[in-house]
Amino acid sequence: MSEHAIPLVDISSFSTGESKQAIARQIAEACLQHGFFYITGHGVSKKLQEQLYEKSHQFFSLGEAEKMAISMDRGGKAWRGYFPLHGELTSGLPDRKEGLYFGTELGPGHPTVKAGVPLHGANLFPENPAGFSAVVLEYIGQVSLVGKTILQGVALSLGLKETYFEHHYTHDPLILFRIFHYPAQAADSEEWGVGEHTDYGLLTILLQDTVGGLQIKSNGKWVDAPPISDTFICNIGDMLERITGGLYKSTPHRVLNKAGKNRLSFPLFFDPGFDAPVRKIENISLPLITDDSSERWDKASVHEFSGTYGDYLLQKIGKVFPDLGKELL
Round the CA-based radius of gyration of the chain to a whole number and report it. 19
pLDDT digits (tens, 9 = 90+) for 174-229: 999 999 999 998 888 889 999 999 999 999 999 999 999 999 998 889 999 999 99
Distance CA 224, CA 101 (A): 26
> Comparing 16-20, 91-95, 154-158, 276-280, which segment has the lowest mean pLDDT?
16-20
What mean pLDDT value characterizes the chain?
92
Contact 90, 192 (CB under 8 A): yes
Instruction: For residues 220-246, give the mean pLDDT.
Output: 94
Which one-letter DSSP state was computed for residue 120?
-
Distance CA 121, CA 105 (A): 6
Mapping DSSP to helix (H, G, I), strand (E, B) and coil, where does residue 314 land? helix
- Percent of the chain residues topping a pLDDT of 90: 78
User: What pLDDT score was predicted for residue 1?
Assistant: 45
Q: What is the pTM of this model?
A: 0.94
CATH (one of 1.20.810.10, 2.60.120.330, 2.60.40.10, 2.40.170.20) for 8-328: 2.60.120.330
Top mean-pLDDT range of 12-21, 162-171, 310-319: 162-171
Contact 303, 291 (CB under 8 A): yes
Distance CA 249, CA 222 (A): 16
User: What pLDDT score was predicted for residue 285?
Assistant: 72
Q: Is the pLDDT of residue 2 over 60?
A: no
Contact 277, 169 (CB under 8 A): no
Q: How far separated are the first and last CA of the chain, in Å rounded?
A: 47
Per domain, the residue ranges of the chain are 8-328
Which one-letter DSSP state was computed for residue 326?
G
pLDDT digits (tens, 9 = 90+) for 14-35: 987 779 999 999 999 999 999 9
Contact 227, 209 (CB under 8 A): yes
What does DSSP say about strands 174-182 and 263-271: parallel, antiparallel, or unpaired? antiparallel
